[in-house]
A and B are shown apart, each in its own frame.
Chain A
């Protein structure tokens, strides 16, 4: 009798195991049918404009001005295309490193979001555009984007002779932010050359103020600072050549740039490796630090802190050069909602879309025809520079080099910022260029 009971229990357990094993198997087919069911009406809807359905967006803009800006663009989209549900498949995390990992999985797994965020430039190489992305050449032609964006940007956007993303904004990386009060108190003009910078730094150091605040905790900031030094020391053309192989990394000018950065770091706050860029900028806000080399998202950050007493200038030596990075939206191959996707990209590239997004995000339009009245003082000056300066790509933010190379570059600079070994850093930089297949 007892044996029978235990046998009964065993059979029941086995049965439930078998059932749970079946459970995913039975739901899988219906899950598989679902997309088919939604694509069917979408295909049928191609003849009629208001298709409804969904648009799945993948972005890492989840907080603050970036999220506000994105929502403003969504509003425009919703007004033009009511009935489309926007699914925001966001993965939070600064600079999108977490998002990128998830995105890779979804792309290779054949379940891509319709559109996703991408740094404009060579970062696109990472996503093997010919395999996973849609070329947007036709859209560029029909929307007139090839004329709306500046020529230097068009060059930057093209990879393998095609466009793979629509840039919505432009950020500048070579900005020197300063605390007006601190500089004025010490009779210092914003430095235009590195010699002026070092003279100023010496004065400030004597007063117990950190001449240059920097935070390198996230690993890209030292590389960011160095690219602005490089652009100044080499000039726009030679700097561009570094990424195409026309300029060798063994060039004496690169040595000079490394020496400059080494000297700059000797005037930096000693706890730089413990801080993020915004932690470092806090020193500037508090008047403990004088200057900060950082991209122009700092402007938005200052504003959010209610801090107004800041000034800006190009990083010493980079007057007339605009080290640029840009966020763009790409279209995944095999997107489930093709029509909604195309409409989205049209909004992202439009004047109205960019004017809605950029003042909130604290960046300028990639287009040159946005209304300056919508922007704050800093952004107005950046817009002027954008229309006349030589535009060169940022490496720390994905524009100048393929991501594998950029990652090594950042690692080298993070080490260099601390150990100051010029020869070793230069050898490694050249090696990285060779490994990337650009230098010989």
Chain B
């Protein structure tokens, strides 16, 4: 048997406290939540009668849950796309060695330091559409004064959901080829979510910019020089040199932004509430209502586990990828 070296012993001892704490307070509670989600616990006093996946099955029959899942997917896709594109564009612009770069960098980055609650309240005021009867408010009023009334929108009060209606030609075609299940509002796009995306992007795109900017600064000038010598134009440099080198940054940004958007709660609560016919509702909000207003702890736990799985689907491949890379190094 090999003698454990003293260094190794010390390092194990040092790591034990945090392992225990994380084990109990993170994984222990995740486990407990998972267990609670399979019980009948729907009142103050826990009732740990085991019911299996009944709570999950019930969830998928609840209108509000399906709507909020759709909204989350809508929000995540749009938010990621908007942040990545805007962040990259801002970073590329700042990378041109413009004057006052530090000032711009700070301006773009500042919103990140604000709480989502503040962002939500401010954007609620800005995007509050006013009424058709009494006149516009917020940005709608601005559009009106600028002589651009056609830009006015109902923002987050718009209950419109865009989806393939079963009665349309496309809907009937899908139905004929056995894809009729797509033709429901649960697989659609909630227009009101755009307002949330605007607010969230305003807050987080500066952060994405900072990540990209760091990435761009790490690209050696020699590579660009070489490409120029070979006759590449600026766009080709971007497409064939910068973007591939920025791929790890993009991946990190997707993970960080993705898990924020899947779990989003504070922004929605302060900005829009559940919205008309739950047009801006999200699972985290529904979970909170179910658990603390309805006292239905088992069902709340089931929503929590589904959220966890959604985030895990996003994060686990990333962790495996980085682990593999570290192993290669």
B133:A273 contact, CB within 8 angstroms: no
Nearest Cβ on chain B to A198's Cβ, whole angstroms = 16
Question: With the chains together, A50 CA to B202 CA distance in Å?
Answer: 60
B131:A270 contact, CB within 8 angstroms: yes
Q: From B155, which residue of chain A is reached at the shortest CB distance? A: A274
B13:A271 contact, CB within 8 angstroms: no
Question: With the chains together, A286 CA to B290 CA distance in Å?
Answer: 37
Partner of A128, one of B44, B124, B157, B291: B44
- The 8 A CB mask of B256-299 against A (1 = contact, 0 = none) is 00000000000000001111111100000000011111111000
Question: With the chains together, A411 CA to B290 CA distance in Å?
Answer: 11
- The 8 A CB mask of B114-154 against A (1 = contact, 0 = none) is 00000000001000111111100000000000000000001
Chain B residues, Cβ within 8 Å of A289 = 134
Question: With the chains together, A191 CA to B128 CA distance in Å?
Answer: 31
Stretch touching chain B among A58-66, A100-108, A235-243, A252-260: A100-108
List 4 other contacts, CB 8 Å, given A208-B134, A271-B131: A126-B44, A208-B133, A218-B273, A415-B277
Chain A residues, Cβ within 8 Å of B294 = 403-404, 407-408
Is A326's beta carbon under 8 Å from chain B? no
Q: From B135, which residue of chain A is reached at the shortest CB distance? A: A288
> What is B's interface to A at a CB cutoff of 8 Å?
6, 10, 13-14, 17, 42-45, 63-64, 124, 128-134, 154-157, 159, 272-279, 289-296
B278:A414 contact, CB within 8 angstroms: yes
Is A418's beta carbon under 8 Å from chain B? yes
B159:A419 contact, CB within 8 angstroms: yes
Nearest Cβ on chain B to A278's Cβ, whole angstroms = 14
> What is A's interface to B at a CB cutoff of 8 Å?
7, 10, 13-14, 17, 21, 97, 100-101, 104, 107-108, 126-128, 131-132, 205, 208-210, 216-219, 269-275, 283, 286, 288-289, 403-404, 407-408, 411, 414-415, 417-419, 428
B133:A418 contact, CB within 8 angstroms: no
Chain B residues, Cβ within 8 Å of A97 = 292-293
Question: With the chains together, A107 CA to B295 CA distance in Å?
Answer: 13
B133:A126 contact, CB within 8 angstroms: no
Nearest Cβ on chain B to A11's Cβ, whole angstroms = 9
B293:A274 contact, CB within 8 angstroms: no
Nearest Cβ on chain B to A217's Cβ, whole angstroms = 4
Q: From A420, which residue of chain B is reached at the shortest CB distance? A: B277
Q: From A220, which residue of chain B is reached at the shortest CB distance? A: B293
A104:B131 contact, CB within 8 angstroms: no
B274:A219 contact, CB within 8 angstroms: yes
Q: From B158, which residue of chain A is reached at the shortest CB distance? A: A273
B296:A404 contact, CB within 8 angstroms: yes
Chain B residues, Cβ within 8 Å of A126 = 43-44, 295
Q: From A125, which residue of chain B is reached at the shortest CB distance? A: B43
Chain A residues, Cβ within 8 Å of B293 = 97, 100, 403, 407
A128:B273 contact, CB within 8 angstroms: no
With contacts A104-B295, A404-B42 taken as known, whether A418 is within 8 angstroms of B277 at the C-beta atoms is: yes
Partner of B63, one of A13, A272, A415: A415
A–B complex contacts, Cβ < 8 Å, 13 sampled: A97-B292, A210-B134, A270-B132, A270-B157, A271-B128, A271-B157, A273-B272, A274-B155, A274-B272, A283-B131, A288-B131, A403-B295, A407-B293
Nearest Cβ on chain B to A105's Cβ, whole angstroms = 10
With contacts A131-B45, A403-B295 taken as known, whether A271 is within 8 angstroms of B129 at the C-beta atoms is: yes
Q: From A404, which residue of chain B is reached at the shortest CB distance? A: B294
Q: From B18, which residue of chain A is reached at the shortest CB distance? A: A17
B134:A104 contact, CB within 8 angstroms: no
- The 9 A-B residue pairs with the shortest CB-CB distance in the complex, in nearest-first order: A418-B277, A273-B276, A288-B134, A101-B292, A418-B276, A217-B273, A407-B294, A269-B131, A418-B159
B124:A274 contact, CB within 8 angstroms: yes
Question: With the chains together, A101 CA to B4 CA distance in Å?
Answer: 50
Question: With the chains together, A14 CA to B9 CA distance in Å?
Answer: 12
With contacts A271-B128, A418-B277 taken as known, whether A107 is within 8 angstroms of B44 at the C-beta atoms is: yes
Q: From B134, which residue of chain A is reached at the shortest CB distance? A: A288
A270:B154 contact, CB within 8 angstroms: yes
Chain A residues, Cβ within 8 Å of B295 = 104, 126, 403-404
Question: With the chains together, A17 CA to B6 CA distance in Å?
Answer: 19
Which residue of B154, B157, B272, B279 has the most chain A CB atoms within 10 A of its CB atom? B157
A273:B273 contact, CB within 8 angstroms: yes
Chain B residues, Cβ within 8 Å of A417 = 276-277
Nearest Cβ on chain A to B104's Cβ, whole angstroms = 33
B133:A270 contact, CB within 8 angstroms: yes
Partner of A10, one of B14, B17, B278: B14
Chain B residues, Cβ within 8 Å of A107 = 44
B45:A274 contact, CB within 8 angstroms: no
Partner of A414, one of B128, B133, B157, B277: B277
A271:B64 contact, CB within 8 angstroms: no
Nearest Cβ on chain A to B10's Cβ, whole angstroms = 5
Question: With the chains together, A418 CA to B276 CA distance in Å?
Answer: 6
B63:A274 contact, CB within 8 angstroms: no
B44:A108 contact, CB within 8 angstroms: yes
Q: From A279, which residue of chain B is reached at the shortest CB distance? A: B128
Chain A residues, Cβ within 8 Å of B10 = 7, 10
Chain A residues, Cβ within 8 Å of B273 = 217-219, 273
Chain B residues, Cβ within 8 Å of A127 = 44
Which residue of B13, B45, B64, B133 has the most chain A CB atoms within 10 A of its CB atom? B133
